[in-house]
Amino acid sequence: MSFLEGAVVLVTGASRGIGRAVALRFALEGAHVIALARNVEALESLDDEIADLAGQCTLVPMDISDGPGVDRLAEQIFERHGKVDVLVGNAGQLGVLGPIGHVSPTVWDRVVQVNLTANWRLLRSFDPLLRASCHGRAIFLTSKVGHVALPYWGAYSVSKAGLEMLVRVYAEETKGTSVLVNLVDPGPVHTDMRFEAVPGEDKSKLPLPTAITNIFVELSAPDCRHHGALLRANA
């Protein structure tokens, strides 16, 4: 039996790409997956796949930037489960790549809201639920451009840099507790966001999202020792 059997796992951005693959992997490991995303049709498809695995899934169709909605979700999960064992902050927004001076305020605000502010709101709302778990784990997706300055990645790069610092600060605040929080840089992966960012890339050479899910299981383990770390997923 997997150590994740019966665990309560919340995955944001679960309708496609890496989030979908991670949700399916946790369901396969026996966890009850709470899948959050905007696309209802894609969520229902995910639910069907998890049912085919004899897994359990709760669908949450909402925009991760809905702060009050995140607060309500935390309250509902607490009432039903009393805890969250694993929180995977995967939802992300690429925005528009180009010179910083060409990025519109609307695009900038949306990218920062989804990639940074929404994850702060998740931690704010779900911190008590993670602490209520015997082995609370929070895992957030970042990118190379969050810690390496590259031109034209503008809002996305800045938002991921902010996310990395947010996670490191939270790691300092949870030292000595049962909660562990870490960052995962998936590297280039066969996803829609990757194709949007690098349209000329040879897709056939990129690993599928299903190939990088091991690290999420490893970081969720009771004997995990990583805390405040940034780890690269290995396909």
Q: CA 134 to CA 21: how far, in whole Å?
A: 25
Q: Residue 196's pLDDT is what?
A: 79
pLDDT (tens digit per residue) in 50-106:
999 999 999 999 999 999 999 999 999 999 999 999 999 999 999 999 999 999 999
Q: Residue 199's pLDDT is what?
A: 82
146 closest CA partner among 103, 107, 109, 112: 112
Q: Residue 197's pLDDT is what?
A: 78
Set 140, 156, 170, 216: catalytic member: 156
Report whether 2 contacts 28 (CB < 8 A). no
Q: Residue 45's pLDDT is what?
A: 97
Tell me the CA distances in angstroms from 166 to 70, 88, 99, 183, 218, one per residue in order.
18, 15, 25, 10, 22
Q: Residue 148's pLDDT is what?
A: 92
Q: Dig out the tokens for 23 from the structure.
A: 């949700």
Q: Dig out the tokens for 103 from the structure.
A: 């990025």
Q: Residue 204's pLDDT is what?
A: 82
Decide if 156 is catalytic: yes
Q: Which CATH class is domain 8-232?
A: alpha beta
Supply the pTM of this predicted model. Answer: 0.96
Per-10-residue mean pLDDT, the chain, length 235: 95 97 98 98 97 96 97 98 98 94 96 98 98 98 93 95 98 98 92 79 87 97 98 80
